Amino acid sequence: MRNSEPIERLIASFRNLPGVGYKTAERYAYYIIEADSSEVNDLVKNIMSAKTEVKFCRECGGYTNKDICSICASRSGDIICVVAEPKDISVMEKVKNYNGIYHVLGGTLSPLENRGPDDLRIKELLSRIEKYGTKEVIMATNPDVEGDATAMYIARLLSPLGVKVTRIAQGISMGTDLEYADEITLTKALEARRTIN
Amino acid sequence: MRNSEPIERLIASFRNLPGVGYKTAERYAYYIIEADSSEVNDLVKNIMSAKTEVKFCRECGGYTNKDICSICASRSGDIICVVAEPKDISVMEKVKNYNGIYHVLGGTLSPLENRGPDDLRIKELLSRIEKYGTKEVIMATNPDVEGDATAMYIARLLSPLGVKVTRIAQGISMGTDLEYADEITLTKALEARRTIN
């Protein structure tokens, strides 16, 4: 043991954070020991309140500290963007000109992990579409086998209702060198080609 | 604001950790929200106890939760390795065959930051050398201008006492391509060349 016991215990705790190895955890631990007490108290307080105050929005299933999140409370339900996890909402919100609402499925269809349609918030999606008179549902699940299958499943489910279902485009990422793009991405990019003249 | 208030406050706290930007802090915050309560409680408990229990070793000035750290309590004082900061001890302890003790200066000499010999734990070093009958002092301050100056200062201070003072070697790091080594490092490496046949 290179450090005294309380330090090693804190390092072990920090190593649970995603992507944190021993060296990074040790840097964080030393930072904590050397930081102002008020800063450390704030960190602890903020960890505790995030853990106790954050709950699921009654409407979309995203994270909020109220009954209904600020997005659901303030935007029209004309367009619903469907995501797999609550944290995906913050990712999509980077797109400044999206003004629709969200719906969190709570995962994707996964035969391997034994997750079927009844384990996702699909019934809730249907009743929201009806309630809001939604015109378009954008499927923003991850571009992988499960995400694609989930998008297709919901598209088929919604087509008899006359709701337009779209899928976020798959193709070459901005700034990527063609040379490093994988075969599947290139195939999708070619399929989805658009006229530019 | 892309997240609800408690989440954004937690992200802001995590951003204080060294090298953590918004994206990483957001990943940590979501991890906390989704983790088991027991794990989060452990993290909080470990932060608090590291902050309250960890103090300076009365002898070497390193971090410990006792009066005297486990290294000072168990090793001979024949060799003292002098470092600038408490956290440098854990770095040096990676060297498995070093069995001496340490001494933390609490910084390096720095005219720019107005830090002179009286601001460092030099008096304590002298009295420990006398008490232990130390034979060698290894200066393991950083290989930069301040670290070198501090090493030279202490070397001069100790030479009348008949204590051998050494400096950790400077040269090319293992695995570095010569091509990428900087001029000063190459100069030091050449100066410190050793016969190998």
Question: Which CATH number do you get for residue B106?
Answer: 3.40.1360.10
| Residue A133, Ramachandran bin (φ over 0: left; ψ between -120 and 50: alpha; else beta) | left
Kindly state whether residues B80 and B15 are assigned to the same domain: no
Neighbour order of strands in the sheet with B136-139 = B101-104, B79-83, B136-139, B164-167
Higher pLDDT among residues A110 and B180, named by residue: A110
Nearest to B6 among A40, A49, A70 (CB): A49
Q: What ipTM did this prediction achieve?
A: 0.85
Enumerate the residues of chain B whose CB falls inside 8 A of the CB of residue A53. 6
Tell me: do A72 and A27 sit in the same domain. no
Q: What total of structural domains would you count in chain B?
A: 2
Task: Note whether A127 and A66 are same-domain residues.
Answer: yes
**Which of B7, B30, B50 is facing A10, going by the closest CB pair?**
B50
Q: How high is the pLDDT of residue A174? A: 83
- Residue A24: the pLDDT is 96
Claim to verify: residue B47 and residue B60 sit in the same structural domain: no
B contacts of A65 (beta carbons < 8 Å) = 4-6
Mean pLDDT of chain B: 93
- The verdict on B73 and B39 lying in the same domain is no
Same structural domain for residues A177 and A158? yes
Å from B106 to nearest chain A CA? 12
Token duo for residue A150 = 């989930």
Are B106 and B187 in a shared domain? Answer: yes
Task: Please check whether residue A12 touches B, CB under 8 A.
Answer: yes
Chain segment A122-154, per-residue pLDDT in tens: 999 999 999 999 999 999 999 889 999 999 999
Pick from A29, A48, A65: which is nearest to B50 by CB? Answer: A29
Do B36 and B94 fall into the same domain?
no
User: Residues 38 to 77 of A: which have CB under 8 A from any B CB?
Assistant: 39-40, 42-44, 46-51, 53-54, 63-66, 69-70
Same domain? B48 vs B129? no
**Cβ A4–B64 below 8 Å, yes or no?**
yes
Give the residue from B89, B67, B48 showing the smallest Cα distance to A10.
B48
Residue B1 has pLDDT above 70, yes or no: no
B173: contact with A, CB 8 A cutoff: no
Please report residues of A whose CB lies closer than 8 A to that of B10: 46-47, 49-50
Give the minimum alpha-carbon distance from A75 to chain B in angstroms, rounded to a whole number. 15
Q: Write out the two tokens for A50.
A: 């995030």
Which residue ranges of chain A lie beneath pLDDT 70?
1
Probe site for chain A from B1, B2, B3, B68 (most A CB atoms < 10 A)? B3
Q: Is the pTM of this model over 0.95?
A: no
69-128 in A: which are within 8 Å (CB) of B? 69-70, 86-87, 90, 93-94
> What SS3 state is found at B73?
helix
State the pLDDT confidence band at B187, using cuts at 50, 70 and 90.
confident
| Residues A140, B19: Cα–Cα separation, whole Å | 31
Question: By C-alpha distance, which of B145, B7, B86 is closest to A52?
Answer: B7
Let me know if B188 is exposed, middle or buried by CB neighbors in 10 A (0-12, 13-18, 19+).
middle
Task: Let me know: does B57 contact B49? Beta carbons within 8 Å.
Answer: no
- Residues A47 and A65 grouped into a single domain: no
Write down the pLDDT at residue A183.
Answer: 84
- pLDDT tens figures, B84-143: 999 999 989 988 889 999 999 999 999 999 999 999 999 999 999 999 999 999 999 998
Helices and strands, counts by H and E, chain B? 8, 6
Which pLDDT does position A1 carry in this prediction? 66
CA dist B45 and B32 (Å) reads: 14
| Residue B85, amino acid | E
The residue of A1, A4, A37, A102 whose CB has the most chain B CBs within 10 angstroms, and thus the best one to mutate to test that interface, is A4
Same domain (yes/no): B36, B102: no
- DSSP class of residue B173 equals P
pLDDT in tens, B25-79: 999 999 999 999 999 999 999 999 999 999 999 999 999 999 999 999 999 999 9
Q: Is the pLDDT of residue B151 over 90?
A: yes
Considering only alpha carbons, which residue of chain B is nearest residue A51? B33
- The whole-number pLDDT of residue B125 equals 97
Check whether residue A104 and residue A170 sit in a common domain. yes
Closest approach of chain B CAs to the CA of A1, in angstroms? 9
Q: How confident is the model at residue B173 (pLDDT cuts 50, 70, 90)?
A: confident
Query: Which residue range is the domain that position B38 belongs to?
Result: 5-53
Tens digits of per-residue pLDDT, B70-99? 999 999 999 999 999 999 999 899 888 899
